[in-house]
Structure 1
Amino acid sequence: MAVLERHLFLYRRLWRASVFSSFVLPVLFLVSIGMGVGGHVGRIGGVDYLAWIVPGVMASTAFQMAIGESTYSVLGDFKWVRGYHAMRATPVEIRDMLAGWLLYILLRVEIAAVVFLGVTGLFGALRSPWAVVTPLVAALVAVAAAAPVTAFAASIEHDSYFALLFRFVMIPSTLFAGVFFPVEQLPAAVRPLAYVSPLWHGVELSRAATLGGAPPWPAAVHVACLVVFAVVGLVWARAAFRTRLQD
């Protein structure tokens, strides 16, 4: 809780810079793509494009927020600010550093998800009462993305690697994980690349919840895949933090 308090104290001075990307931009994107482009796309899976794209935008927002927060902030606290080294000089353990950090990301993501859910509800894009569970799906996506990226950020020495992460992981995942069009439209040889992305599992769970249908795989399998990403990322992060703090 002390680590969470520290991150919230810092965010109190920076929150204005994140309002646009966390709240305004997803809504503008939804209106422009869902309603504008949706007028030309028509219906997908028996529903209008706006209702179909809402869960994808919500999941991708959580995914991108988690990755963005877990890059420069983590590396900076090791290399430039040395905040983690200061924490290590206190009774705070590595597990506390990771738990407090992930709680901070979850708080950020959940606030954005609830606001987004409320706005999309006003547009009539939610077709099932199960839509109320989508913030929980967003939380799973956030942890599944943040844990391994935090470990990656703790393992590198230069921030230039983040450009590779954004270009070859975050952007392709956003484009080809079923956010904007069904994955089934991809060539069969390319589809497995979508299946290994945590975002695809989050998109399908969110879409099943907002539309009241069934995901392509059993919901338990999608959840298990996200949990595996989170657990593997946490194990890697704990090892990376331990190694880095020995410097």
Structure 2
Amino acid sequence: MPGPAAWSLFLQRLTAHRHHWRSSAIGSVLEPVLFLAAMGLTLGTLVDRGPGLPGGVGYLAFLAPGLLVAAAMQTATGESSYPVLGAIKWDRTYDAVLATPARPADLVAGHLLYVAFRVTTSAAAFLVVLLAFGAAGSPLVVLTVPVALLTGLAFAAPVTAMAGRLEEDSAFAALQRFLLVPVFLFSGTFFPVGQLPTVLEWVAYATPLWHGVAFARDLALGTPGAGTALLHAGYLTLWIVAGTWLATRTLTRRLVR
């Protein structure tokens, strides 16, 4: 469980967030919603007029839960890249915190608490829009928010570890361009990954985003299986645990002198 120091860091980040929440909402909520409207209501109409998707699922219902989870990935990685490097190198927030009895583990826990807040609130707002669009086929769609949380943390923890090793921010552009964008495009958000070449299909299965998208879609459509649900949740949890351990180890090596 997070200790008092972790909660204090979380509250500090939350206080800072109050001053720029409107701008952050544009990237974490408004942009995915516009994407949903553009893709689901225009391209989706053409898809539904054609052969359609397996099982007769409408394209909007297929797309919406995937976008919800993909937006969680973007929010979590955005909060775990520049802000973490800045807290280490530019404004020295982490050095100030470590001047107290806090430990690097508290830094990681407090940061991930804040990421959890950002992902959960953004996903909940997206869920309201999803329901307004009529893109939910089951009451289980409300559980897509916890799935988005797991997926976001599965990216936030290892990206925090990466940020803790950097001296310059140029690597974040490469991360976005060469990793996150391809993962987003080939995660099953827009089309079933079974349509990919076999090698790329198995690469997609290895990413946390595919598991989050598949899990959320099963819930939104009311077709979750107990075995697959446990597989998805366990895989995402494994990324969180491994990333948290690596982030703690990285910050300890860098900041504890």
Same-fold status (TM-score > 0.5)? yes
Q: CA deviation at 1:24?
A: 1.2
What's the TM-score once normalised by structure 1's chain length? 0.97
Equivalent residue number for residue 178 of structure 1: 188
Hey, what's the Cα distance between the residues in 1 that align with 2:225 and 2:193?
A: 12
Q: 2:74 aligns with which of 64, 72, 77?
A: 64
Hey, what's the Cα distance between the residues in 2 that align with 1:217 and 1:153?
A: 35
Equivalent residue number for residue 102 of structure 1: 112
Equivalent residue number for residue 26 of structure 1: 32
Hey, what's the Cα distance between the residues in 2 that align with 1:102 and 1:246?
A: 20
Contact 1:204-1:215 within 8 A present in 2 as well: no
What is the count of residue pairs matched by the alignment? Answer: 247
Q: Percent identity between the aligned chains?
A: 43
Equivalent residue number for residue 92 of structure 1: 102
What's the TM-score once normalised by structure 2's chain length? 0.93
Q: CA deviation at 1:190?
A: 1.2
Contact 2:95-2:255 within 8 A present in 1 as well: yes
* Secondary structure, aligned partner of 2:74: helix
Q: CA deviation at 1:143?
A: 0.8
CA RMSD of aligned residues (A): 1.3
Equivalent residue number for residue 47 of structure 2: 41
Q: Which runs of 5+ in 1 are unaligned?
A: none
Code of the residue aligned with 2:233 in structure 1: it is V
Q: Per-residue CA shift, 1:7-61, capped at 9, x if unaligned?
A: 0111112212112112211111101001111011113231110010011000000
Contact 2:28-2:74 within 8 A present in 1 as well: no
1:83 partnered with 2:89: no
Q: Which runs of 5+ in 2 are unaligned?
A: 1-6
Q: CA deviation at 1:215?
A: 6.2
Hey, what's the Cα distance between the residues in 2 that align with 1:120 and 1:237?
A: 34
Q: CA deviation at 1:243?
A: 0.9
Equivalent residue number for residue 153 of structure 1: 163
* Secondary structure, aligned partner of 1:226: helix
1:137 partnered with 2:147: yes
Q: Per-residue CA shift, 1:36-88, capped at 9, x if unaligned?
A: 11011113231110010011000000011111110000001111011000000
* Secondary structure, aligned partner of 2:197: coil
Q: CA deviation at 1:214?
A: 3.5
* Secondary structure, aligned partner of 1:213: coil
